[in-house]
C-alpha cells in the first residue's frame, strides 16, 4: 500500500482521478461497486492506500451530476469512434 494519501484532481484525464496516478474515480467505483471487490483488495492491486479508495468512492457519490456527465461523454466518445474498431460486432461493449 502507498503511504501517501492522494487528493482527487483533474491533471491528466478529463475526469477526476487520484493525484499523481492515472487511476480515475470512475475506475475505483467500478472495481468496488460494480465488480464487488473489497476496497483493501483494490488498494493492494493498485498500490494505493485504502483511504485513497474510500476518498475516490466518496468523491463519486458526492458528485453524482459530474459523474453522470463524465459517463455520458465516455459513451458519446465510444459511439463516435466505434466504427474504427476491428473487433467483430458481437464482442464490442
* Per-residue tens of pLDDT for the chain, all 93 residues: 555 667 999 877 689 999 999 999 999 999 999 999 999 999 999 999 999 999 999 999 999 999 999 999 989 988 888 777 776 666 655
Which pLDDT belongs to residue 65? 97
Domain count, the chain: 1
Domain that holds residue 28: 8-84
Give the SS3 label for residue 52. Answer: helix
Whether residue 91 is contained in a domain is answered as no
- For cell 458528485, name the residue: 63
Beta-bridge mates of residue 17: 9, 24
Which pLDDT belongs to residue 12? 74
Whether residue 3 is contained in a domain is answered as no
pTM for the model stands at 0.79
Gyration radius from the chain CA atoms: 15
Amino acid at each position: 500500500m502507498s503511504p501517501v494519501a492522494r487528493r482527487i484532481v483533474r491533471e491528466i484525464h478529463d475526469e477526476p482521478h487520484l493525484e499523481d496516478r492515472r487511476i480515475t474515480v470512475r475506475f475505483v467505483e467500478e472495481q468496488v461497486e460494480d465488480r464487488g471487490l473489497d476496497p483493501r483488495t483494490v488498494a493492494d492491486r493498485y498500490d494505493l492506500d485504502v483511504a485513497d479508495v474510500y476518498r475516490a468512492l466518496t468523491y463519486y457519490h458526492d458528485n453524482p451530476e459530474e459523474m453522470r456527465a463524465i459517463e455520458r461523454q465516455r459513451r458519446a466518445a465510444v459511439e463516435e469512434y466505434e466504427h474504427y474498431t476491428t473487433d467483430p460486432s458481437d464482442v464490442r461493449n
